[in-house]
Structure 1
Amino acid sequence: MSRSSRRTVVSACIIAASLVVGMTTASAEDKPADRQQVYAAAAQEFGVPQSVLLGVSYLESRWDTNAGAPSTSAGYGPMHLTDAVAATARGSHHGDGLEDPRGDTARPALHPHAGEPDLNAPSLRTAERAAELTGIDQRALRSDPAQNIRGGAALLAEYQRDLGIRSSNPADWYGAVARYSGATDTATAKSFADEVFATIKQGAARVTDDGQSVRLAAQPSATPNTGQLNELGLRQTNQAETECPRGLGCEWIPAPYEQFDNTYGNHDLANRPQSQKINYIVIHDTEETYDNTIRLVQDPTYVSWNYTLRSADGHVAQHVKAKDVAWHAGNWYVNAKAIGLEHEGFGADGSWYTEALYRSSAKLVRYLADRNDIPLDRAHILGHDNVPGTVPSTVAGMHWDPGPYWDWAHYFDLLHAPFHGVGTPAAGLVTIRPDYAANKPAFTGCETAGQPCAPHGSGSVILHTEPRDDAPLLVDLGLHPDGSPGTMHISDHSSRVETGQKYAIADRQGDWTAIWYLGQKGWFYNPKRHPTALWSAGLVATPKAGKASIPVYGRAYPEAAAYPSNIPVQAVTPLQYSLPAGQKYSVGLVAGSEYYWATTFDASNHTVVRGETRYVQIQFGHRVMFVNAADVDLRPSMLP
């Protein structure tokens, strides 16, 4: 038998085996096909080194299936085959709701409209090509892990053929791996391929979200032929202006600072950190394709953020220098002291984030935190959903991205700042830390209002008014002013805590732990054998003796006497919550009062107003908030 005939027979056998795998997977009563064998079979069928196939898949999905749900960049399955039409992109959260991204009443509110996303980028349509190469229907490529892996292997093999390279040595597949990233620039393709080969060198092993054990044996000698990168014909990017760590694929795409219609946009010039310390990094998702997001941030009449990160390959574009103030968080006090990162995503509605995105973001945040002396904790690395409303009227309209499916525990592992517990319950605090894969809250409204979301791992933990699962949820007067309890709708975080956040222990009964939350006692299931929180220690704030309750604020603005005559006084308005006597809340930081007056195109008129009032940032609910330092005592969290 000729070599080509033998290869045809082998391929036919493997295809038949794959179809059998798909049939057995379809039955809930049968044991799922061994995922390790599926990778091995696909690698052999298409002539791809198994370590390369495993390494690429790990960087796309960490080998997870995500139950057939799309990623934030319309990618499906372990190989992240993209199908933007099936994923049905949604409009931008910057155009939804009532939030003014600038968050400053000194200027008219901005409620920009994003327009329709562009779904035609090749990086959003790879499932289509995989279907042509394999003859497998796109629906099967999206939903069947075995066929998805075959589709990814077929794409890698085609990319290798296009380079004209015949080799079974993983080191000779660097160019194909770089192309698989979907990157259009050399720096990002290199960053992606370098991460894949670093994974191959180090090895990896984990249990996937559907219970499959997969292992990539370490190959320390796998030194790739990086010269192949030059054969891809990718564009070179302008990295000279960027504030990014070395080795991360970044480019400078500036947001415009322009005058128009007697006003200006889309950010403010400043001189941070000399003018104001940068305390926060805010994590957003875009609710847009990457390409459309880039078009939006280049519109002077739109809003801005400092960086955009692309999902499929982790590419980074910087738009606003760290010294300047972007308009992104919906709270001017936070904006003036924050750097905003937008991550490509179509909504926190059951979609997932790629490993490439997590890794690029973590590298960038580590770099920015180090440069600006920002602690790597959840009091300083905020989700947009943790930023407070400025005054009572803005609370309900604040955005809630990146949502309950952002994996904060994995993200902080990549930041080299994992969440650790200390001691016993007597330490007085808990750090929320459920098992992301196993923790699947019963959210509703991902696709249709009132309908259950598909089960999905989450970093969110639900709070109840009593220590039982069927007890009502807590009340958030900002979201439900009528006093009705919170709901399980995907965007309703009335009674929801998030991984990494710290709260003061209020009570314990059996497997249930209570914390102080929005002035209430909130209970969550926290069994000893499988805890959803870690015992922790730190500082807590509690009302001073003699105060029945104290006000809570959404911004740390100065007292009226601090303002010069040419700058209007900004009201220090309490939110609709209060902090009762006897309750304790975890302290994130203690800060002076500041207001950045910036309402003119001429930055020489901009002024930082500083007052005598000092504030304490606390983890009051799902969002951080502020209390006047004169109203509270700060104490160690240890319980008596």
Structure 2
Amino acid sequence: MDPFSRRTVLRAAAAGTAGLAAAAPGTAGADVAADQARQRAFAAAAAEFGVPEQVLLGVSYLQSRWESHGGSPSTGAGFGPMHLTDVRTVAAGGSHHDKGTEDPRGDLARAVLRPVEPQHATPVPALQTVDLAAELTGEHPEALRTDATQNIRGGAAVLAHYQRELGVRSTNPADWYGAVARYSGATDSDAAAFFADEVFRTISGGASRVTGDGQSVRLAATKVSPARGQLRSLELPACARGDVEAPSDVSAEWIPAPYQQTGSGAGDYGNYDKAERPQSQQITHIVIHDTECTYDAALGLVQDPTYLGWHYTLRSTDGHIAQHILTKDVGWHAGNWYVNAKSIGVEHEGFAAQGTWYTEAVYRTSAKLVRYLADKYRIPLDRQHILGHDNVPGTLPSTVAGMHWDPGPYWDWSHYFDLLGAPLRSWARQSTGLVTIRPDFATNQPGFTGCDSAGAACTLRGSSAVILRTEPRDDAPLLPDPGLHPGGSASTMDVSDVGSRASAGQQYAVAEVRGEWTAIWFLGQKGWFRSAAAVPALGQVVTPKPGLASVPVYGRAYPEASAYPANITPQELTPLQYTFAAGQKYAAGPVLPSEYYWSTTFDPATHVVVRGETNYVQIQFGHRVAYVKTEDVVIQRP
């Protein structure tokens, strides 16, 4: 018998879920039924497969926070509230250089680095749970990916299957620790334990929220002391922490990137640079990336001396961390050598073209790691220091258009900063002339295009991005960006086009307010958005010094030519192609020293940090940050 033809028999116990939203439209009953449909689907699936409802809700929360995401895959190739994985379907899309041509090293003193495109890993059973769910339920994989109710049933069936294989018969949530740990797909005991511990921590603390598609779901707090000894039954190896720099309560291992010569020349080596930070240079920023390939493929790439190197990779399904480069050393990851020399690069497993949401497991682990690093290096937890790769500026006018755009508009910056313990709240009681962008992630659903194919509409889903327009109306054109669109054409709604969008947590100077609309200064012009998407902020702004018609804006904070030793060619101070004119204001970030890390040879003994007398202030100039010389501007309250 075709296993998919058995779905009617296997669904009989859950027949009551079919009419969850069947009440007449427009009635109070219909609203309640629609809002509670997912809650009732969890209850029905738990009863059908004999899974404690708290366990099913807890696992789903740590994967998707109960979201369906319109049937679109996560960055870890998972679908629906239960994150049933199907890497075979997803892995055909995306590469690390999708819609971007940047040199990850971004050092003009060296030849342009053009890494080979990544190869996608062969699907493994741990990343194909949709197949197991289809076998257990008789439901077609397509329905398991796109129908939230069937996805929940599939996840419950997989959990019950894992529990049976452990030989444990119990309705006590505490006795499901081993099955939950296995559901993570982890290949080592530390990662499996971290995932299971976070699930049971959620069960003990409880949770409730309304999803992006209007579903109200609640997990009542239930104190549980899970049977952690079941982990031994999975017979998973422990990971080797080695030299790893990470919190003790996360799953992390040391998988080093190679620092080795690749040719006969002094500059033929990879795939990072030795340094002695913070003694040599302060680490001032952390850059959030996604890999644009599977976790396994990313590990293969970072161990290739001809490829680029970054500090950490996080696995999507369970949040497991691999560290590749010591934080004292400089990775080749951000496409801007000034930023590379002063930052730590954290990659999150993801696919550019198709995967568009991140698991709760990876958010939580990433937040723990970044908070640990921020504490270690005294990095403030704000959007001026915790940057997305899409916030890193081009080095020169010629490199602006090729800069990467990850982690993209679907990274939930507000939730991430909640997990960091630095929520994006407003401390101002009234308008200050400065705003923090803070849309409601679930209901803010811009109509992007290009997620699956050029020009095609993306599935509507929650986003951190706020779209800016040339006038205070919804149908006004988007702003032009001369760096991304030379010739004055408007920006687009392509998912990779950051020319006319601000992001949650970023701060901007207010240019004008009209009714329900606010304009901010953005790339030398006014960008309008609905005021409800921002809150008043405290901070400082920069303006050109009196008497200056405009000031140059830079993509690097490099020293003046006279600061360089005779044997090092000065890096040119070339402004970007934007205008910062008198009368405009931009939110001020950190004041930074002018530095250039000259490290063009394999021998670190020859490396030199060139320091100048010039200082710069980082500004939120557009979607990306930029730098202006302190001698050109006034820093003041708005």
Equivalent in the alignment of 1:625: 626
Counterpart Cα distance in 1 of 2:307 and 2:442:
37
Per the TM alignment, residue 469 of structure 1 is displaced from its structure 2 partner at its CA by: 1.3
Q: Secondary structure of the residue that 2:576 maps to in structure 1?
A: strand
Decide which moves more: 111-120 or 323-332. 111-120
Distance 1:586 1:130 in 2: 50
Displacement after TM superposition at 1:468 (Å): 1.0
Contact kept, 8 Å, 2:182 with 2:234, in 1: the verdict is yes
Q: How much has 1:114 moved relative to structure 2?
A: 2.4
2:222 to 219, 223, 234: 219
Q: Is 2:90–2:355's contact at 8 Å kept on the other side of the alignment?
A: no
Partner of 1:66: 69
- How far residue 348 of structure 1 moved from its aligned partner, in angstroms, is 6.3
Report the CA distance between 1:481 and its aligned residue: 1.3
> Does structure 2 retain, via aligned residues, the 8 Å contact 1:94–1:113?
no
Q: Which residue of 1 aligns with 2:205?
A: 202
Task: Report the CA distance between 1:616 and its aligned residue.
Answer: 0.5
Q: CA deviation at 1:207?
A: 1.0
Selected match of 1:360 from 342, 356, 365: 365
CA deviation profile, 1:392-418 (whole Å, cap 9, x unmatched): 110000000011111100110110100
In the aligned structure 1, how far is the partner of 2:405 from the partner of 2:100?
Answer: 11
In 2, the alpha carbon distance for the partners of 1:49 and 1:118 equals 34
Shift of 1:448: 2.4
Counterpart residue number, 2:252: 250
1:597-626, Cα deviation, whole Å (9 max, x unpaired): 001111000110000000000000000000
1:417 to 417, 422, 427: 422
CA displacement 1:19-65 (0-9 Å, x = unmatched): 555x959x999754622221111111111111111100100000111
1: distance between equivalents of 2:546 and 2:159? 67
What does residue 611 of structure 2 align with? 610
* Kept after mapping to 2: 8 A contact 1:427/1:537: yes
Helix, strand or coil: the match of 1:589?
Answer: strand
Q: Quickly say closer, same or farther: Cα 1:12–1:449, change in 2 above 3 A.
A: closer
User: What CA distance in whole angstroms lies between the structure 2 residues aligned with 1:336 and 1:88?
Assistant: 32
TM-score by length of 1: 0.95
Segment of structure 1 superposing worse, 60-69 or 32-41: 32-41
Give the equivalent residue in structure 1 for 2:483: 478
Alignment of 1:212-611 (within 5 A): 212-220=215-223, 222-261=224-263, 262=265, 263-347=268-352, 351-424=356-429, 426-526=431-531, 531-611=532-612
Question: 1:82 — aligned with what?
Answer: 85
Paired residue type of 2:558: Y
Match of 1:183 in 2: 186
One-letter amino acid matched to 1:551:
P
Q: Deviations over 1:283-337 (max 9, x none)?
A: 0011101100100000001001100001111111000000000000000000000
What SS does the aligned partner of 2:578 have? strand
The answer as to 2:105 corresponding to 1:102 is yes
Report the alpha carbon displacement of residue 11 of structure 1 after superposing the two structures with TM: 7.7
| Conserved 8 A contact 1:384-1:401 | yes
Letter aligned with residue 538 of structure 2: A
Deviations 1:324-366 (A, max 9, x none): 0000000000000000011001116562111011111001000
Q: CA deviation at 1:490?
A: 1.2
Structure 2 runs not aligned, ≥5 long: 1-7
Report deviation, 1:489.
1.3
TM-superposition CA deviations, 1:115-163 (whole Å, max 9, x none): 3201412222100001001111111111111111111111111111111
Q: Report the alpha carbon displacement of residue 87 of structure 1 after superposing the two structures with TM.
A: 2.4
The C-alpha deviation readout for 1:180-203, integer Å capped at 9, x for no partner, is: 000001111011001000001101
What 5-or-longer segments of structure 1 have no aligned partner?
A: 1-8
Alignment deviations for residues 473-528 of structure 1 (CA, whole Å, 9 cap, x no partner): 111110111011111111111111001000001100000001111110111112xx
1:273 & 1:24 partners in 2: Cα distance? 62
- State the match for 2:3 in structure 1: none
8 Å CA contact 1:89, 1:288 repeated in 2: no
User: Structure 1's 276 and 199: CA in aligned 2 closer, same or farther, altered over 3 A?
Assistant: same
